[in-house]
């Protein structure tokens, strides 16, 4: 895999998909359909999926591609595959809260090793470089040229005063009960894969997810967090969260900065 080409292509497609999503977001009303798993889908999800999947298949025809909107057609993935959530945070999109993202990642040997997370309504872009380290880009997000970037890295957490990030749309009592086991300085909420990115930038220390997610929801944010020095582990046994599962479903997990003294589930 040519990682430099991969990063260039993933970033460009994320911006193109983000532009299309914002065009629909700003245009007014749009139809909302319900998928077989009862989750919502909009024309923006479908348009972004086409942009990204067409682009990735053209650039990397020999690499298996998994996308949320085409998941029903996917089967064997192998050790290396691309995985996409073209619009993570559809509920945030529908409710016009802005915390939705475009997510593209490469998985190798069960681990997300490269990824891009783009939040077009928030004008925030995070991605891994060819060497696997993570940066945040600022500027105009031109498709043909990477703008100014800054390296990002996780915090040095103070276990007597942790900053915790939790879901906007999926917060529940089980999550609150788990968070209550820590000494928390403050809490913030964020939608979609932005929660991983807030840990990657040091804006938060801990993100527990006691709820359903799929691999396409987490892979890109996981890659960005790993490239910033962070960790994602299973909630039940604190072993690394792995990818390539037959049904794409994740167990509960905890994303955190190293140094956070994790509590047993």
* Block mean pLDDT (10 aa), the chain, length 265: 96 98 85 66 89 97 90 71 93 85 97 98 97 96 95 98 84 88 93 93 96 94 98 97 92 97 88
Can you read off the two tokens belonging to residue 189? 């909420």
The CATH number fitting domain 162-256, selected from 3.40.50.150, 3.50.50.60, 3.40.190.80, 3.40.50.300: 3.40.190.80
- Would strands 101-108 and 64-67 be described as parallel, antiparallel, or unpaired? unpaired
Q: Reply yes or no on domain 3-151 having CATH 3.30.540.10.
A: yes
CA distance 164 to 219: 20
Cβ neighbours of residue 160 closer than 8 Å, sequence gap 6 or more: 183
* pLDDT given for residue 72 in this prediction: 66
CA distance 49 to 225: 23
* pLDDT given for residue 96 in this prediction: 82
Give the start-to-end residue ranges of the domains of the chain.
3-151, 162-256
CA distance 6 to 115: 9
Total number of residues shown for the chain: 265
């Amino acid at each position: 895999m040519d990682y430099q080409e991969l990063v260039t292509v993933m970033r460009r497609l994320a911006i193109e998909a983000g532009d299309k999503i914002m065009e629909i977001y700003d245009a007014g009303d749009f139809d909302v359909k319900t998928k077989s798993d009862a989750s919502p889908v909009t024309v923006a999800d479908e348009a972004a999926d086409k942009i990204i999947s067409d682009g990735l298949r053209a650039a990397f025809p020999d690499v298996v591609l998994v996308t949320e909107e085409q998941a029903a057609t996917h089967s064997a993935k192998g050790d290396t595959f691309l995985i996409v959530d073209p619009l993570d945070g559809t509920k945030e999109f529908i409710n016009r809260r802005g915390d939705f993202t475009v997510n593209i990642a490469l998985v190798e040997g069960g681990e997300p090793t490269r990824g891009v997370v783009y939040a077009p309504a928030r004008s925030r872009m995070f991605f891994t470089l060819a060497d696997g380290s993570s940066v945040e880009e600022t500027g105009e997000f031109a498709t043909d040229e990477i703008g100014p970037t800054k390296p990002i890295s996780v915090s040095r957490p103070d276990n007597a005063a942790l900053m915790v990030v939790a879901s906007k749309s999926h917060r529940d009592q089980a999550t609150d009960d788990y968070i209550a086991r820590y000494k928390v300085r403050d809490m913030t909420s964020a939608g979609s894969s932005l929660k991983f990115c807030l840990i990657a930038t040091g804006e938060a220390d801990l993100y527990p997810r006691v709820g359903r997610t799929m691999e396409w929801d987490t892979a890109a944010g996981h890659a960005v967090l790993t490239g910033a020095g962070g960790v994602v582990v299973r909630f039940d046994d604190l072993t690394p969260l792995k990818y390539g599962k037959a049904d794409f479903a994740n167990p509960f997990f905890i994303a955190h900065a190293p140094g956070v003294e994790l509590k047993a589930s």
